[in-house]
Chains A and B, each alone.
Chain A
Amino acid sequence: MNNYETVFIATPVLSDAQAKEVLGKFQGVITENGGQIDSVEDWGLKKLEYPIQKKSTGFYYLVEFSGQGDIIAPLETQFRRDERILRFLTFRKDKDAQEYSVRRRNKLAGKVNEPAKTEEPAVEPVKEQEAE
């Protein structure tokens, strides 16, 4: 069992729904080949530092998955065949990289919850002032 990470850039021509569909397709490719998806990150439409296929933006998706080494070949052929994919990068994560990505995942999950927590106390003092 290895841990992998793949990032791909989909063309900006797609609508949000179509971009989601592309993501779904590649998640499907991973699971069909016996992989297990650990996490998916949507970075949204980002500006590219240099143009690729005359496009200056792209939809970035990060998929972390685990499985045997034979998933990669079919996954990458699918990436190459799909015209909607501008770029992709897949690599195996070593121990440190895996630790890092787990921490990063937890941090991102924590960030989603944090704003909700901080908002609650901020509201209360206002009420007190009004009461005075």
Chain B
Amino acid sequence: MAAPQQAQSEIRYLNPLSVDVKKKKYCRFKKLGIKYVDYKDPEFLKKFLNEQGKILPRRLTGTSQKFQKKVAQAVKRARHLALLPFVTDNMTR
């Protein structure tokens, strides 16, 4: 019983543990104290879109529920006013 345990511990030392130091996601609105998401600023809203112009999910951006709703609203307003595209292939960031 002792031998495999030892081997395991040796292997552990030989192969350095791939520790993924995950950067904790945070809601940038809460952190910066932004209360209102402006639809008039398409450059800022592009941070929440992928290359196709789709809204990124909360699990990727780390935005809180409260502000994700506001971001979505702002993006939709910007799209209506042709400040952001509905569909595109290569979004310039």
Chain A interface (Cβ < 8 Å from any Cβ of B) = 7, 9, 48-50, 52, 58, 60, 62, 87, 89, 91, 96-97, 99-100, 104
Contacts and interface: CB of A to CB of B under 8 A. Distances in A.
Given A96-B36, A99-B35, A99-B36, A89 B81 contact: yes
Interface residues of B, number: 15
Interface of B: 35-36, 38, 40, 42, 77, 79-86, 88
Q: Could you tell me the dominant secondary structure of chain B's interface residues?
A: loop
A99 B88 CA distance: 33
Contact of A87 (B36, B80, B85): B80
B55 to A, nearest CB: 15
Contact of B82 (A9, A96, A97, A104): A9
Contacts of B38: 100, 104
Q: Could you tell me the dominant secondary structure of chain A's interface residues?
A: strand
Contacts of A89: 77, 80-81
Contact of B84 (A7, A49, A52, A62): A49
Contacts of A104: 38
A48 B84 CA distance: 8
B35 A100 contact: yes
A50 B35 contact: no
A50 B84 CA distance: 8
Given A96-B35, A100-B36, A52 B82 contact: yes
- The 8 residue pairs across chains A and B that have the minimum distance between CB atoms: A48-B82, A100-B36, A96-B35, A96-B36, A49-B85, A49-B82, A97-B36, A50-B85
B82 A50 contact: yes
A50 B36 contact: no
A93 B83 CA distance: 19
Given A49-B83, A99-B36, 12 more contacts: A48-B82, A49-B79, A49-B84, A50-B85, A50-B86, A52-B82, A58-B82, A60-B81, A99-B35, A100-B35, A100-B36, A104-B38
Nearest to A41: B40
A96 to B, nearest CB: 4
